Structure 1
Amino acid sequence: MDLHVNLLLVLATAALTFADVPYYVPKITAKPLLGRLTNSGFVLEKPQCIFHQYPSDEVWLVIVNNSVLPQLDVPVNLSTPVESIDFERNQYFHIHKTLGSEFPCTDTFGNTADLLLVGSDSVCNTTFCNKPLSTGPFRAIFVVLNNNISIAQSRWSDLITLNPGLQPPVIPNPPRRSAGMIIIVVILSILLAILLACLIAVLATGSKDICWRRSIDNKPLIHLEMVRHYYNYNKHSVYVVHTEYKLMK
């Protein structure tokens, strides 16, 4: 009796384990991370203890534009991996190829190994590039492939809508100036130019007048000095008068 009970428990456990995959729903991580949902991607929780019954099979994450979901036959359409460069044509692509044995069974808070980033490759230099997303909304699904044959798949995720990008601030157009204002500005500019020209002319004329007066003021000084010089050497009044007369010419 006990043998039959244990056998039933083992079979029930095995059946429940293998049923985990079709009932698993991909979801955006609940961890308070920056960038968990952006305008070009999102972060999913990595499945734990879900695909360990397929240790040597390929597990792919498929990102699908929700608009083509009704036309997709998952076992047929998603059994052949599609690169992200073909997304515009197919509206879906495969990323994060992983063996079933590589999925963890433990979770560490904040550990990036327990997360799957979608749209994180700004520069695509790999075959199955995890390129940024632009249009949507999207849904995600995990498929298990063996030689391009789908042997299991998860459920579809809930609808994933990216955060809208911030719009640049709108700069209002400057108010148009009337014709009268333009005329006033032109007239004031001309008057200012005339005033500046007059100021320069006055300064130039004043500097010439100052130089001329200084030259006139210097002449008597030179004349007196020369008179004193000659007078000291020749005291004769006639000579002094004669010399003064010659210097005055």
Structure 2
Amino acid sequence: TMLPLLLLLLATAHALDKLPYIPTLARSPLGGLTTASTFVLEQPRCVFTEVPSDAVIWLVVAVPEAVANFNNSVGPGTPERAFQGFPGSTPAYMTLNTTILNYPCPKPSGEITVLRVGSETSCARNEMRPTCNGPLSGPGPYRVKFLALNGSEPVAETGWSKPITLKTAQPPSSIPVMGSRHSPGMIALTSILSILFAILLASLVAML
């Protein structure tokens, strides 16, 4: 009779805490929240308040198709979660690992509380750095969540963000070149000024 109770307690002890937090883009008025290869998130402050102090909080970046069947048990640094294979052979990767100590609650006044995803260029092709926070290769869309691991055990997770779409770089041919074209009004004004200058020059010569 004790076995079912023990199994229930064991399952409860290892239950994943699903937090009611949804990652969002930062609310900075400075702009640049999304570029062609990066985006900026708000840090999850005052979110992982019940996890062990030594738990590691990871950011998961995924293509939308990978969200429904995402497996929390596949750990960071494995081939299935390596940035270098994303998004082709790896539909999701894990990066920006830290502990709750770096997400203090409440937020100290004046402290920057954002995360720029995609800011590391040096490790983008380095397969020895599978958790690289490398630049994203396309506009997406992407979805993200935060996942806390105690050792290799998932202990808490946030919800998934809404789809995040990056900016698309303009091809050089679409960028207008200053001075390459003149409006009819500008041409007419230039002609009139040339005529007036010629008349003025002729008058000066006649006075000599």
TM range, smaller chain: 0.5 to 0.7
Q: CA deviation at 1:170?
A: 5.0
Could you say what secondary structure the match of 1:85 adopts?
helix
Q: Which residue of 1 aligns with 2:62?
A: 64
* Higher relative contact order (CA closer than 8 Å, sequence separation 6+): 2
% identical aligned pairs? 31
Q: Which residue of 2 aligns with 1:119?
A: 118
Matches within 5 A, 1:151-162: 151-162=155-166
One-letter identity of the residue aligned with 1:35: G
Choose from 160, 166, 172 the match for 1:168. Answer: 172
Q: Report the CA distance shift for 1:103/1:167 in structure 2 as closer, same or farther (over 3 A).
A: same
Q: CA deviation at 1:93?
A: 1.0
Q: Which residue of 1 aligns with 2:134?
A: 131
Choose from 30, 33, 38 the match for 2:35. Answer: 38
- Aligned partners of 2:35, 2:103: CA distance in 1, in Å? 25
* Aligned-residue CA RMSD (Å): 2.4
* Larger relative helix fraction: 1
Q: CA deviation at 1:31?
A: 1.0
- Aligned partners of 2:167, 2:143: CA distance in 1, in Å? 15
TM-score normalised over the length of structure 1: 0.54
Q: Which residue of 1 aligns with 2:22?
A: 25
Gaps in structure 1 of 5+ consecutive residues: 1-17, 172-249
- CA deviation profile, 1:70-98 (whole Å, cap 9, x unmatched): 3323x334x44433113231221111111
Q: Report the CA distance shift for 1:110/1:160 in structure 2 as closer, same or farther (over 3 A).
A: farther
- Aligned partners of 1:111, 1:164: CA distance in 2, in Å? 31
Gaps in structure 2 of 5+ consecutive residues: 1-15, 176-208
Could you say what secondary structure the match of 2:101 adopts?
helix
Q: CA deviation at 1:39?
A: 1.1
TM-score normalised over the length of structure 2: 0.64
Could you say what secondary structure the match of 1:25 adopts?
coil
Could you say what secondary structure the match of 2:147 adopts?
strand
Could you say what secondary structure the match of 2:66 adopts?
helix
- Aligned partners of 2:118, 2:109: CA distance in 1, in Å? 22
In the alignment, is residue 49 of structure 1 matched against residue 46 of structure 2? yes
One-letter identity of the residue aligned with 2:168: P
- CA deviation profile, 1:35-63 (whole Å, cap 9, x unmatched): 21111110000011112322110100011
In the alignment, is residue 92 of structure 1 matched against residue 95 of structure 2? no
One-letter identity of the residue aligned with 2:21: Y
One-letter identity of the residue aligned with 2:96: H
Q: Report the CA distance shift for 1:32/1:56 in structure 2 as closer, same or farther (over 3 A).
A: same
Would you say how many aligned residue pairs link Structure 1 and Structure 2? 150
Contact 1:121 1:132 in 2 (8 A): yes
- Aligned partners of 2:172, 2:34: CA distance in 1, in Å? 20
- Aligned partners of 2:109, 2:135: CA distance in 1, in Å? 26
Contact 1:122 1:131 in 2 (8 A): yes
- Aligned partners of 2:22, 2:68: CA distance in 1, in Å? 18
- Aligned partners of 2:76, 2:111: CA distance in 1, in Å? 31
- Aligned partners of 1:48, 1:23: CA distance in 2, in Å? 13
Larger Cα-atom Rg: 1
